[in-house]
Each structure stands twice: as C-alpha cells, then as structure tokens.
Amino acid sequence: QMANATSSKLQFLMEHVPGMREAPPATAGRLHASSFFRKAYFPKGHRFLKAGVVASEDMTYVVVRGSVEFRCRKREASKGKPLKSLREALLLQQARRAMVTTMPAHSKCPASRREDQRQLATGIPEETATSEGPLCVSVLGVGGVFGSLPVPLAEPFTVVARESCETYFVSGPDSLKLPPALVQNVRRYLARATSWRLDR
C-alpha cells in the first residue's frame, strides 16, 4: 500500500511540477526529488502567502485537492506602479539568468531577506485590516503549482485556500536538497506565472 502511495505521488508530481520528469533517479546515496515534497492539509481560509510581506522561506506547493485563490487589494490594483516595478524586477532577473543557481533565492536568513527587500522594494503595502476589499486575480485547482516569489521581494498577492485543501509542498531546508535543474525550472515557472497575474 505504501509503495502504491509513493508511486501515485511520484506520478502526480511528475505530471504537474516543471522539471520533475527530468529529475535524477534515486540511488543508494541520493533520494529522488519527489521525496522532499510532503503532504499537508489546510482548512478553508488558510493563508499561504501575504501581500506586501517577503516570504520567510522558499516554499513551493502543488494542489492535490481543493483550490487556492490569489488576491490583491483593490486600492493596490488601481495604482499599478508598484506592481509594474515588480514585473520589471522579474523580467530583469530572467534576462540575467539569475534563476540558474544551485540555491533557491529564499535560502538566506530572514534578516538578509529584509535587507534585500529594502534594496529591491516595490512599494507594495502590507495587507492590513484597513485595506480595501480583496480582488480575486486567479484561482488554482488540482495540479496547480504556486509558491513564494523567486526573487527576494514582497509578495504581490495574498494566497488563501478557497476551500479545504490537500497539497504536496517543499520548503525551507528541504528546498536546498532539490536538484539545481528542478529548482531552476520551478522558479522560472513561478516567475512567468506571477508576471501573467500582474498583467491581468
């Protein structure tokens, strides 16, 4: 039964995670990349990421059941300038091929993240109780991949569970154990997906 569950997990991740099909096979001294993705359940309304705040660590989620919603504040959506700055930062990073690294961008300590945020600030305000109501930008269902920004900047969207969710996820120290090529593919995908949402 455990073997079947492992096979099902691997097949699912290979189908949905960019680069997972090309990940090196497991050997006596090396686990397969899928082994670092853990299953987790989240209730409706759980917040994965918060707009205006730099993620505390590198994290990637794959929706197995349920759906998540990307939101931004109406006031922020109407301004446009901070989001334009973030879009330019993402495009610049891709142009410099900064995503071809052996270490995820969020592997640094929180203090370094805050320093990077000051250097690359986009002006996206932190979501507060007094902010204007949220605007739904997009919804991801089964198979959807999302996660923290591939650059050390404040998140442009708040991501919440639209309903109870089941996911596979990898974060923190485990992210450092993923094959460099897989990290590159995932970060590239997240950058493109974020740019697409910023253009909506």
Torsion of CA 154, 156, 157, 159, to 10 degrees: -40
State pLDDT tens for residues 24-73: 999 888 999 999 999 999 999 999 999 999 999 999 999 999 999 999 87
Q: State the pLDDT at residue 198.
A: 85
At residue 82, what is the residue type? P
CB atoms < 10 A from the CB of 62, how many?
24
Average pLDDT, the chain: 78
Q: State the pLDDT at residue 118.
A: 37
Helices (H) and strands (E) in the chain — how many of each? 5, 8
Q: What's the average model confidence in pLDDT over 79-92?
A: 54
State pLDDT tens for residues 99-121: 344 333 333 333 334 434 433 44
Q: Which residues pair with 39 in a beta bridge?
A: 168
At residue 140, what is the residue type? L
HSE at residue 116, side-chain half, CA atoms within 13 A, is 20
Q: Calculate what percentage of the chain has a pLDDT beyond 70.
A: 68
Which H helix or E strand runs over 198?
helix 180-198
At residue 138, what is the residue type? S
Dist. CA 76–CA 142, nearest whole Å: 28
Per-residue pLDDT at 133 exceeds 80:
no
Neighbour-count burial for 139-167, b at 16+ CB within 10 Å, e otherwise: ebeeebbbbbbbbbbbbbbbbbbbeebeb
Q: State the pLDDT at residue 93.
A: 53
Dist. CA 19–CA 9, nearest whole Å: 15
At residue 196, what is the residue type? W
Dist. CA 146–CA 151, nearest whole Å: 14
154, 89 Cβ separation under 8 angstroms = no
User: Is the whole model's pTM more than 0.85, yes or no?
Assistant: no
Lowest-confidence segment of 57-61, 94-98, 157-161, 193-197 by average pLDDT: 94-98
State pLDDT tens for residues 147-177: 999 888 889 999 999 999 999 999 999 999 9
